[in-house]
Amino acid sequence: MSDHSNEASRAHIRLRFNDGVKAELRLISKDGQLLTPSTTTVLLLNLSQNGLCFLSGLQLPIQKNYLVECRMTISNVQINVRGRIVWNARKDNQYSHGVLFECSNTLRSLIIGVMNQEILERQPQQQKIHYLYSRLLNTKRMHYSG
């Protein structure tokens, strides 16, 4: 199994949660049918636009025949996203799991916006620099589009 602690090798920025952000998780089939009647609460470790990592007492298998559905609230926005377990690792008496999202670009954009809002709430003194980068990004998109 590869080491998943190497943050530098990842393609997307991860928003880490140190303050116990919880999510509700349930197992569903590929066509959206519930596989279990109940949900379980998991602890989010990090979130990116393409996936998340959570900690749980359950060891979920790495298989393509089912999905996990995660419901979480971040920056007062409720997000409900589906994905598949792509790795897991034992951590003391619990398991960390990596989830790769299977979602629309619209939901992915919402996740990016929520991550940005969370960063701004954590560091309000950085709002001006975020605004300037946002303007720069939008200017480049208009100039290079086509």
pLDDT band at residue 3, thresholds of 50, 70 and 90? very low
Strands 40-47 and 94-101: unpaired
> What pLDDT score does 124 carry?
77
Q: How many whole angstroms separate alpha carbon 77 and alpha carbon 39?
A: 20
Q: How many whole angstroms separate alpha carbon 45 and alpha carbon 7?
A: 13
Regarding predicted confidence, which is higher, 134 or 73?
73
3-class DSSP state of 23:
strand
Residue 67 confidence (pLDDT) above 80: yes
Residue 2 confidence (pLDDT) above 50: no
Pick the closest to residue 20 from 60, 72, 66, 90 (CA basis). 72
Q: What percent of the chain has pLDDT over 70?
A: 84
Overall average pLDDT of the 47-54 stretch:
95
What does pTM read for this prediction? 0.79
Residue 5 confidence (pLDDT) above 60: no
Residue 13 confidence (pLDDT) above 50: yes
Residue 40 confidence (pLDDT) above 80: yes
Pick the closest to residue 70 from 25, 3, 128 (CA basis). 25
